[in-house]
């Protein structure tokens, strides 16, 4: 078959995010896959490639899921790419279809993360013994976490937000709490979110401090969950029913970036440059700009992260993230709604599932199937994830014209 210039999401779904003590990783992933296949109106027999993302399961999740949902001999790619794992799995399936290797592909991201504790902490006690031990990754005498900077996610992104505030001003503790207040408010309309309870800025500010200025309710929720998507070539889509064509969502851009070489601090990760590069490439590939977006699901692993990504994704002018938020634009009824799902702070963050779950949210709005939280008239949306290491995935999605 010839390669198709157009790629469409034919079916997509996600499990409820939260605690699932009665389900293991394979159970959750299979649940999302079967729901996505049903949403697409196809079966595993129609799928020509499968990409599965998982970080904590020990490898081989794709083949394990095949045993549950159907072994058909197709190529399986097991994907691991930090918080961008789900988006990378989807991009893997997209590339195979776009190359003409098959006309339909499947991607899944799944994680069991409830009770995992502080990500990045590693659970290894630090020794304060006064012994010279040059075993650090960069030749350090000892592990530097807690002494110089930090490797824990709340600390890293706390520094990122504070750095932005020092550079441009206006990024106060209260402002970050109000960003979180927005997302918790949005979550009340999302039945699949881990938390669906509104919180006031005052409640958020008075919550347990994790890493200033991020309190507990400003942090993404560790939870269990899975999401899956079926992608199809434009040529194949034309042969399917009018209803399948109507509900299909066009993938106008699929971008994955990593850190470019630069003269930079090697202690504080740069979450900005690779996101800015990904956004620039995505807008060029899709032929749209930030002004054309009707909604955005961005990677708010912490309230501080959401603020800087307003800027990184070009949703505002450089340095204008505080003014963008203060204008009311990112609220559900604002000019450019951001994280209508409740974001990672409320919806939850089962790492490998997040990249596809963000896309699911955008797809539901473009299909006009979001119920009470529907963004009316939504035609173009952007989904963004970033994982330290680093990897950034951006997908721009467009409503079908059928």
- State whether residue 232 is helix, strand or coil: strand
Nearest to 106 by CA among 27, 53, 64: 53
Measure Cα distances from 66 to 44, 57, 76 in Å.
9, 15, 9
pLDDT of residue 265: 67
Q: Mean of the pLDDT values across residues 93-114?
A: 96
Share of the chain above pLDDT 70, in %: 89
Domains of the chain with CATH codes: 7-115+222-399 (3.40.47.10)
Looking up tokens 């779950």 gives 357
CA–CA separation, 88 vs 394, rounded Å? 10
Residues 212-271: pLDDT tens digits?
A: 999 999 999 899 999 999 999 999 999 999 999 999 999 999 999 999 998 866 667 889
Per-residue tokens: 361: 């949210």
* Triad 174, 176, 181: Cα angle to 5°: 90
pLDDT of residue 118: 56
* Triad 192, 194, 198: Cα angle to 5°: 100
- State whether residue 376 is helix, strand or coil: coil
CA–CA separation, 94 vs 388, rounded Å? 23
- DSSP per-residue string spanning 327-364: TTTTSTTSSS-B-TT-HHHHT---HHHHHHHHHHHHHH
Residues 298-356: pLDDT tens digits?
A: 999 999 999 999 999 999 999 999 999 999 999 999 999 999 999 999 999 999 999 99
CA–CA separation, 160 vs 157, rounded Å? 5
Measure Cα distances from 294 to 64, 73, 186, 338, 396 in Å.
38, 40, 16, 9, 11
- CB under 8 Å to 24, separation ≥6 — which residues? 112
Averaged confidence pLDDT in the chain: 91
Measure Cα distances from 168 to 172, 270, 387 in Å.
11, 17, 24
Residues 31-66: pLDDT tens digits?
A: 999 999 999 999 999 999 999 999 988 789 999 999
pLDDT of residue 126: 42
Per-residue tokens: 64: 């394990």
pLDDT of residue 125: 37
Residues 193-219: pLDDT tens digits?
A: 999 999 999 999 999 998 899 999 999
- The residues annotated as belonging to the active site are 83, 349
Looking up tokens 């592909």 gives 105
pTM for the model stands at 0.92
Chain Cα centroid distance, residue 329: 21
Buried b (16+ CB within 10 A) or exposed e, 360-382: bbbbbbbbeebeebbbeebbbbb
pLDDT of residue 152: 80
- CB under 8 Å to 126, separation ≥6 — which residues? 143, 145, 146
- State whether residue 71 is helix, strand or coil: coil
pLDDT of residue 120: 47
pLDDT of residue 123: 37
Nearest to 10 by CA among 249, 253, 239, 364: 249
Per-residue tokens: 9: 């999401």
Share of the chain above pLDDT 90, in %: 82
* Triad 124, 126, 131: Cα angle to 5°: 130
DSSP H or E run through 230: strand 225-233
Phi and psi at residue 29, to the nearest 5°: -60, -45
Phi and psi at residue 385, to the nearest 5°: -140, 150
Q: Mean of the pLDDT values across residues 95-101?
A: 96
């Amino acid at each position: 078959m010839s390669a198709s210039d157009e790629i469409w999401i034919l079916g997509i779904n996600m499990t409820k995010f939260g605690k699932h003590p009665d389900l293991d990783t394979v159970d959750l992933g299979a649940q999302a896959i079967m729901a996505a296949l049903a949403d697409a109106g196809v079966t595993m027999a129609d799928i020509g490639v499968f990409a599965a993302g998982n970080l904590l399961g020990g490898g081989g999740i794709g083949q394990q899921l095949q045993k549950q949902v159907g072994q058909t001999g197709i190529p399986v790619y097991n994907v691991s790419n930090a918080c961008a794992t789900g988006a990378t799995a989807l991009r893997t399936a997209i590339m195979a279809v776009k190359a003409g290797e098959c006309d339909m592909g499947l991607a899944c991201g799944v994680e069991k993360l409830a009770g995992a504790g502080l990500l990045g902490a590693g659970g290894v006690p630090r020794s304060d013994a006064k012994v010279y031990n040059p075993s650090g990754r960069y030749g350090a005498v000892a592990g530097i976490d807690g002494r110089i900077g930090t490797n824990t996610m709340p600390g890293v992104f706390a520094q990122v937000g504070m750095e932005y505030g020092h550079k441009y001003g206006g990024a106060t503790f209260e402002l970050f709490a109000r960003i979180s207040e927005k997302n918790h408010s949005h979550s009340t309309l999302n039945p699949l979110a881990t938390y669906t309870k509104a919180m006031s800025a005052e409640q958020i500010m008075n919550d347990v401090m994790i890493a200033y200025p991020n309190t507990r309710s400003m942090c993404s929720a560790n939870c269990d969950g899975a999401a899956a998507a079926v992608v199809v070539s434009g040529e194949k889509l034309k042969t399917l029913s009018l209803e399948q064509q109507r509900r299909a969502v066009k993938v106008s851009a699929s971008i994955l970036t990593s850190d470019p070489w630069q003269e930079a601090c090697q202690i504080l990760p740069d979450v900005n440059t690779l996101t800015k590069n990904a956004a620039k490439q995505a807008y060029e590939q899709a032929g749209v700009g930030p002004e054309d977006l009707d909604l955005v699901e961005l990677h708010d692993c912490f309230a501080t992260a959401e603020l800087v990504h307003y800027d990184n994704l070009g949703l505002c002018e450089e340095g204008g993230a505080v003014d963008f938020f203060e204008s009311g634009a990112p609220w559900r009824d604002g000019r450019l709604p951001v994280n209508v799902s409740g974001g990672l702070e409320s919806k939850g963050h089962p790492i490998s599932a997040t990249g596809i779950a963000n896309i699911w949210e955008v797809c539901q709005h473009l299909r006009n199937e979001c119920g009470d939280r529907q963004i009316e008239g939504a035609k173009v949306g952007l989904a963004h994830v970033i994982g330290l290491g680093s990897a950034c995935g951006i997908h721009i999605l467009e409503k079908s014209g059928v």
